[in-house]
Amino acid sequence: MEMDRISSLPNDVTEKILSCLPLRDAVRTSVLSSKWRYKSAMLQDLEFDECSWRTSQYREYDDDDYQIHKTFVNMIDHVLLLHLVPIRKFKLACTADEVATRDIDRWMTHLSRNSIKELIIKLWLDHQYNIPFSVFSCQGLVHLELLDCLLKPPSTFKGFKSLKSLRLLHVDMAQDVFENLIRCSPLLERLTLLSCDGVTSLKIDAPNLQYLHVLGEFDVVNLDSASSITEAEIWMGIGNDEIGVPASWIPACSSSNLLMIFDHLPHIRRLKINRRFLEYLSLGALPEKLTNPCQHLKALSVDICFDDPDAIPTALCILRSSPALQELEIEVDPTEKLPRIHSIVEEVNSPCVNDNYNCTFSQLRLVKITEISGVKAELDFIRFLLLSSPVLERMTVTPRRFPEPSYVDGVPKLVKELLQFKRESKHAEIILLDP
Amino acid sequence: MSTSTDNNASITQESGPSAAVQDIQKKIVVRTADGEVFNLKEEVAMEIDIIKTFFQEDSISYETVMPLPNVEGWEMVKVIEYCTKHVELKHKVDGYKERKAFQALFVQNLSTKSLLALTNTANYLEVKYLLDFLCQAVSEQIKNKDVDYVRELFGVENDFNDEEYEQVKAEAPWAHENLNNDLH
């Protein structure tokens, strides 16, 4: 037999190896030798995934979901009971019904007594899990991630003093619960908030926040107290029963949403403006330039609806105020602002080419434009970018899969002319050294 | 400009200080346990924390040859290979596929014994991302395998008697049941 090279590896290395394994495999190593007996019981990070468990149990319990869930629960109880060290990270992905919640409550109580640092709970099924009070007492929490839960903290909850990273998907909570949670977690650096019902106003009080990713139907966006943000992705939508721009979006007269947001993003480096957020920004008195240029903005991604006459000036205002911009990504938003009559669309003013915008993007190297239909407004914008980008290295243009019938004639001609497409290729790559 | 051969396992004569100074790019010189000497590009050398600390903490001149008594020559070759690729990919926007392909090749011809030795070395040299990758590679070798296979693969001797063995096994019966057919 070969010399044993693995058992003498330092403990933290064997722990790393074991943590790459599914828990069953890791626990099984306890019978290898006396040196290995307790290694798996000293893992600091535990991950329990009911899907993987189900796959591993398939032979014994083919169809019985309930039985499998029971064995899954038993296994977790077993592991927690025999564990020899405090658990630093606990990840749970499982089904949740009326009965299951009692099990999860029990595990949360156990973890809350053992200084847990990272907690990830991803649930699915019909019953939305109400996060128990024990979780709110975990003051050592550094990372919290929840999927499909209900957040209703006790009135005594004073925030998570150590929380640096928070990720909430489909988590229902009241507006004041949300604001309180953020405001009272002073170390918060990363916040992800996707489709969380109840949060109608995106007002964030987080002076240390660096990364923000949100998706929802918000009445208002207020980043006044979040000026350290360096990376943001904001997707704003409107409710299904809304017809036009929500009244709450319109700023007080003589103020501009664009300025109100960007005045508080002095450190922004990467920004994604998705869905209707550009529309939100375009409301109010649109300036030509931002009061404070985005000195550090390196990468910008924008969803632009070329049908909307306010979209391009808003985008241009940002572009003009971003001297350090290196990467630009534009996704054409096919939502129709104007009626889809070919001639009317053609007549939409393309301000960038018609007016004399003295604009040079001195650092812009990479441009990516997707979902184009070949509309004049789009092509004008592309032409403008090409003329204003002296160090452009690559422009990638991707047309929509199924361009509208009315544009089918226009597209091949204009596009070939302007962009020197390769024939029949869906993705065109242009490398320009100089306009 | 230095050529790429400097970063491969060329067994050079022990390069005196004058040779190192003549190079336009800064080089760091290390000597492994078997006496092999390696010239590393500064940016690659700085990926290896133990080297970085050695030179930076006490401001030791680059003319000093750093001894690495716990590292074999072939291991140094592999580490340099990985770190060089890592530095190269840092500047690429979309290096995912390339990284995956490189990683697959990197471990392709490594025996388990070598893989474990290299893991130990990555830990000693303090190259976190290499250590993470190698631990993942080791775990891949024992995923879904039964105990006997793992024992033989790593050369672990069973020092339990039958009674003890059954007792330990009984502590977590769920881990030993219902193993898939993916045993050997």
- The residue with greater pLDDT, A279 or A349, is A279
From the list B120, B138, B155, which residue is nearest A4 (CB)?
B155
Mean pLDDT of A209-223: 95
Between B177 and A313, the higher pLDDT residue: A313
CB B49 within 8 A of CB B126: yes
Whether residue B156 and residue A6 make contact (CB cut-off 8 A), yes or no, is yes
pLDDT tier at A154, thresholds 50, 70, 90: very high
Mutation target to probe the B interface, by most B beta carbons within 10 A, among A5, A21, A53, A56 is A5
- Pick from B131, B150, B178: which is nearest to A59 by CB? B178
The predicted structure's pLDDT at residue A341:
28
On chain B, the residues whose CB falls within 8 A of the CB of A32 are 147, 150-151, 156, 158
Name which of A3, A27, A59 is nearest B172 (Cβ-Cβ): A27
Q: How far is A363 from chain B (nearest CA, A)?
A: 16
Q: Which residues of A touch B135 (CB under 8 A)?
A: 13, 16-17, 20
Q: Output B114-122 pairs: Cβ under 8 A, ≥24 positions apart.
A: B115/B141, B116/A5, B116/A6, B116/A9, B116/B154, B117/A5, B117/B72, B117/B75, B118/B75, B118/B78, B118/B79, B119/A9, B119/A13, B119/A17, B120/A5, B120/A9, B120/A10, B120/A13, B121/B70, B121/B71, B121/B72, B121/B75, B121/B79, B122/B79
Taking an 8 Å cut-off on Cβ atoms, the answer to whether B113 and A78 are in contact is no
Stronger pLDDT, A415 or B126, i.e. the higher one: B126
* A346: pLDDT strictly greater than 60: no
Which portions of chain B are predicted below pLDDT 50? Answer: 1-23, 181-184
Check CB contact under 8 Å for B175 and A20.
no
The answer to which of A50-54, A122-126, A339-343, B131-135 has the lowest mean pLDDT is A339-343
Instruction: Find the mean pLDDT for residues A361-380.
Output: 84
Mutation target vs B (from A9, A32, A47, A80; most B CBs, 10 A cutoff): A32
Q: Which residues of A touch B92 (CB under 8 A)?
A: none
Q: Between B114 and A338, name the one with better pLDDT.
A: B114
| A176 has a pLDDT exceeding 90 | yes
- Distance CA(A117)–CA(A142), nearest Å, equals 5
Q: What is the pLDDT of residue A105?
A: 93
* pTM, entire model: 0.82
Q: Sign (positive/negative) of CA torsion A69, A71, A73, A76?
A: negative
DSSP structure class, residue B4: G
| Residue A420 predicted with pLDDT over 90 | no
Cβ within 8 Å, pair B156-A32: yes
Beta bridge partners of A12: none
Give yes or no for residue A265 having a pLDDT over 60. yes
A interface with B, Cβ–Cβ < 8 A, is: 1-7, 9-10, 12-13, 16-18, 20-22, 24-25, 27-37, 56-57, 59-60, 71, 74-75, 78-79, 82, 366
Chain B CB contacts of A27 below 8 Å = 172, 175
Which chain B residue is nearest to residue A12, measuring alpha carbons? B123
- Percent of chain A clearing pLDDT 90 (strictly above): 52
Contacts of B151 in chain A (CB under 8 A): 32
What is the distance in angstroms between the Cα of B149 and the nearest Cα belonging to chain A?
A: 10
Mutate to test the interface with A, among B157, B160, B181, B183 (most CBs of A within 10 A): B157
Question: Which residues are CB-contacts of B149 (< 8 A; sequence separation ≥ 6)?
Answer: B142, B183, B184
Tens of pLDDT, residues B55-101: 888 788 888 899 999 999 999 999 999 999 999 998 777 788 899 99
Q: What is the pLDDT of residue A414?
A: 53
| Closest to B157 measured CA to CA, from B147, B166, B168, B167 | B147
What's the rounded Cα separation, in Å, for the pair A362 and A340?
36
Residues of B in contact with A69 (CB under 8 A): none
* Three-state DSSP state, B140: helix
Alpha helices in B42-161 (DSSP H): 42-45, 49-57, 73-90, 96-108, 112-125, 128-142, 147-154
Residues of B in contact with A20 (CB under 8 A): 135-136, 138-140
Complex ipTM over 0.90 = no
Give the Cα separation of B125 and B119 in Å (integer). 10
How much is the average pLDDT of A240-248?
Answer: 78
pLDDT in tens, A126-141: 778 899 999 999 999 9
Q: Residue A395 is encoded by which pair of tokens?
A: 């422009």
- Whether the pLDDT of residue A50 is over 70: the answer is yes
| Minimum distance, in Å, between the CA of residue A31 and any CA atom of chain B | 6
The distance of B148 to chain A (nearest Cα, Å) reads 8
**Chain B residues near any Cβ of chain A (below 8 Å):** 93, 113, 116-117, 119-120, 123, 131-132, 135-136, 138-140, 142-147, 150-152, 154-160, 165, 168-169, 171-172, 174-178, 180
